[in-house]
Amino acid sequence: MKTYQVYQVDSFTREKFTGNPAGVVLNADGLSEKQMLAIARELNNSETAFVFSPDASDHDLKIRYFTPTTEVPVCGHATIAAHFVRATVNQMASSTISHKIGIGILPVEIIKEEQGYLIVMTQGKIEFAEPIVGQEKKDIVAALGLTQEDLDQRCPIQIVSTGHSKVMIGINSRKKLDSLVPDMVSLGKLSALIGCNGYFVFTLDAEMPGVLTHGRMFAPAIGIVEDPVTGNANGPLGAYLIKHDLVKHNNHSFSFKGEQGKAIGRSGIVEVQVKMEEGEPVEVKIGGRAVILFQTTIEL
């Protein structure tokens, strides 16, 4: 029997019961995949992060991520949660460390603040698929409960990835965004056809000071009806906005804040930084804060 330290954390927020909840198991060495899946299913967050000791000298720790139904290669809000817990428990100073996750070894910045920590993670390689057109586009629009008139015509429907792909769907109205009631069964079936599980509907029709975008993310194919605040959606969105000339920038870098989750009462803010070379996006970082809701132990 071993005692595992388990935390419930709200990410991309400093206010409890908002943002995106994630589970964190801080000392996961010894857990099997079956046990990790069982813990993730029991906690029933969209993702739970399991923190392991490093297995080589080129990284400081390993993290694996599980939804209630499957393992995923990376998760933004669970990464923020895991490093926030680790920094808080160990009273860490500001530093940059490296973690090994499903998409490779990447840096994470731990920035100590007066009221906690800001965690900034570098995301994986930026990849753009060809825009989705024809019947598949029509089916996605219909499954989301949208019409062609709702779409922002500047925004192609396109799969973008910084490690865990999402379909970007730009629409005109914040009011329409908040009122969406997608057909989850249809979205789940479409995921198998297009090879992408997450649908990120966003708008540039922002209404909060300092916020550029509002979004909602649906991924029923992997057991996530709606994810409150998604790092692996807002990050790729930053690259997408640059790619399609939707924002002004200096050709070297661009940063913005994306809000997500308000429609379901779990608003949170993702801070996105995009590095550019010759006007093209080449690297994305996302940052966020967090708050520990509770901690407990499990003996297995």
Catalytic sites, residue numbers: 47
Q: Is 156 helix (H, G, I), strand (E, B) or coil?
A: coil
User: Strands (DSSP E) along 123-165, which ranges?
Assistant: 127-128, 158-161
String of DSSP letters for 214-282: EEEEEEGGGTEEEESS-HHHHHHHHHHHHHTT-S---SSEEEEEEEE-GGGT--EEEEEEEEEETTEEE
Contact yes or no for 33/7 (Cβ under 8 A): no
Q: Is 17 helix (H, G, I), strand (E, B) or coil?
A: coil
| CB contact set of 138 (below 8 Å; sequence gap of 6+) | none
The whole-angstrom separation of Cα 152 and Cα 136 is 17
Give the CA dihedral 30, 32, 35, 40, nearest 10 degrees. Answer: 90
